Amino acid sequence: MLTQDEKKYLEKIPADKKVVVKPFDPSTSEIAGEFIAMIKSADPELEAVHLGASALEISGQGDIDLSILCPKPDFQANKEKLSKVFGQNVAGFDTIQWQSVRNGHEVSIYLADPTEPNTAKQLKVQETLENDPDLLKQYEQLKEKSASLGYREYQRKKYEFYNRILS
């Protein structure tokens, strides 16, 4: 079962967008650490977390997702601090996002309110997978089996998995 937000997001994905699943690359941990250090240089009090397949050290798209957890009322002040380090942000309303590429890996950095339902769910999925090796293995297998699918179907399968493990 998908949430309304998940259904809306899936509808926005172009039907012809493809997914590429790659084996885990250990260099992603080092790159994530470099970006977290950059975040801390803007404000040592900011809480930056590395999420997703690269943080879990499993097969994935080879990208690096970093979330900076802060309450929504603090977004503007933190956006100003982080823009001095990362430049102009590329998106943002419910979240504020910067993108970069390092050594062939896309890096996405988000300001995200941990009390917002989608962020809270993402953090809970990450924690669940980090603490359950069997579920983590199932998740990696789902990703690997989905390598030949379109991105929309790949994302739908991930959402269904998340909802199943959290129910």
- Quote the pLDDT of residue 52: 97
92 confidence band (pLDDT: 50, 70, 90): low
**pTM attached to this predicted model:** 0.92
Count the residues in the chain.
167
pLDDT of residue 23: 95
Interatomic CA distance for residues 30 and 79, integer angstroms: 24
Mean local confidence (pLDDT), 51-64:
97
Distance between CA atoms of 72 and 103, rounded to whole angstroms? 32
Which domains can be identified in the chain, with CATH numbers?
A: 4-166 (3.30.460.10)
Reduced to 3 states (helix: H, G, I; strand: E, B; else coil), residue 3 is coil
**Listed residue (113, 97, 21) closest to 63, CA to CA:** 21
CA dist 66 and 37 (Å) reads 12
With pLDDT > 70 as the criterion, what percentage of the chain qualifies? 97
For 120, the token pair is 């809270």
